[in-house]
Chain A
Amino acid sequence: MNAITETGTAGFLARYEALKGRLPGDSTLRAAAADAFRTLGLPGAARGRRSEAWKYTTLQPLGGMSFGSSSVAPSIDIPEAAARLVFSGGAFRADLSTPVPGFARFADQPDFGTLTWPDREPMVALNTMLAEDGAELAVPEGHDAGIVFLVHLGIEGTSAHPRHMVRLERGARLTLMEISNGTGSYMHNPVFEIHVADGAALTHVRIQTEDITAFHLATIYAAVASGGTYDSFTLNVGARITRTEIHASLDGPGAIAHLNGAQLLTGSQHGDFTSVVRHTAPKGTSRQTVKNVLAGRSRGVFQGRIEVARGAQGTDGYQMNRALLLSPDAEIDTKPELEIFADDVKCSHGATVGELDAEQLFYLRSRGIPDQEARSILVRAFLAEALDPVTNETARDLLEASVARWWANGAWGQSE
Chain B
Amino acid sequence: MLEIHGLTASIGDKPILKGIELSVPAGEIHAIMGPNGSGKSTLGYVLAGREDYTVTGGGVTFEGHDMLAMEPEARAAAGLFLAFQAPVELPGVNNANFMRTALNAVRRAHGESELDAVQFLKLARGELKRLAMADDMLKRNVNVGFSGGEKKRNEVLQMTLLKPRFAVLDETDSGLDIDALKIVADGVNGLRGPGFSALVITHHQRLLDHLVPNRVHVLAGGRILRSGGPELAKELEKNGYGAMLAEAA
Contacts and interface: CB of A to CB of B under 8 A. Distances in A.
Interface string A335-361: 000000000000000000000001110
Nearest to B164: A368
Contacts of A366: 48-50, 72-73, 75-76, 81-82
Interface stretch (A34-42, A97-105, A276-284, A381-389): A381-389
Given A359-B88, A367-B162, A381 B93 contact: yes
Contact of A363 (B51, B88, B91, B103): B88
B105 interface: yes
A377 B101 contact: yes
B92 interface: yes
A374 B91 CA distance: 14
Given A367-B162, A368-B73, A381 B102 contact: no
B11 interface: no
Given A366-B48, A368-B77, A368-B109, 20 more contacts: A358-B51, A359-B88, A360-B88, A360-B90, A362-B49, A362-B51, A363-B90, A365-B76, A366-B72, A366-B75, A368-B102, A368-B103, A368-B106, A368-B162, A370-B73, A377-B98, A377-B101, A378-B90, A380-B92, A385-B91
A365 B98 CA distance: 11
Given A366-B76, A369-B105, A382 B92 contact: yes
Nearest to A381: B92
A368 B76 contact: yes
Contacts of A362: 48-51, 72, 88
Nearest to A388: B92
Contacts of A364: 90, 98, 102
Interface string B68-112: 000111011100011010011011110000100111011001000
A26 B109 CA distance: 71
A17 interface: no
B75 to A, nearest CB: 8
A393 to B, nearest CB: 17
B158 interface: yes
A404 B107 CA distance: 26
Contacts of B52: 358
A365 B90 contact: no
A81 B89 CA distance: 38
A359 B103 CA distance: 20
8 contacts: A362-B48, A362-B50, A362-B72, A362-B88, A363-B87, A365-B72, A366-B72, A369-B102
B88 A370 contact: no
B76 A367 contact: yes
B88 A373 contact: no
Given A373-B101, A385-B91, A385-B92, A367 B77 contact: no
A369 B93 contact: no
Interface string B103-143: 10110010000000000000000000000000000000000
A400 interface: no
Given A360-B90, A385-B92, A368 B84 contact: no
Nearest to A362: B50
B179 to A, nearest CB: 26
Contacts, number: 74
Q: Chain A at the B interface: mostly helix, strand, loop or mixed?
A: helix
A401 to B, nearest CB: 17
Contacts of A369: 73, 101-102, 105
A369 B106 CA distance: 8
A374 B77 CA distance: 15
A366 B50 CA distance: 8
Nearest to B161: A367
Nearest to B80: A366
A377 B73 contact: no
A57 B153 CA distance: 50
A324 to B, nearest CB: 12
A362 B88 CA distance: 9
Contacts of A382: 92
A316 to B, nearest CB: 23
Contacts of B87: 363
A371 interface: yes
B91 A373 contact: no
Contact of A381 (B50, B51, B90): B90
A147 B105 CA distance: 42
Contacts of A368: 73, 76-77, 102-103, 105-106, 109, 162
Nearest to B97: A377
Contacts of B84: 363
B102 A367 contact: yes
A359 B89 CA distance: 9
Nearest to A374: B73
A170 to B, nearest CB: 38
Contacts of B158: 367
B64 to A, nearest CB: 20
Nearest to B45: A362
Contacts of B91: 381, 385
A373 B105 CA distance: 9
Interface in A47-90: none
B205 to A, nearest CB: 28
B92 A370 contact: no
B172 to A, nearest CB: 14
A288 to B, nearest CB: 19
Nearest to A385: B92
Contact of A365 (B73, B81, B92, B93): B73
Given A366-B82, A380-B92, A371 B71 contact: yes
A373 B98 CA distance: 11
Nearest to B75: A366
B117 to A, nearest CB: 16
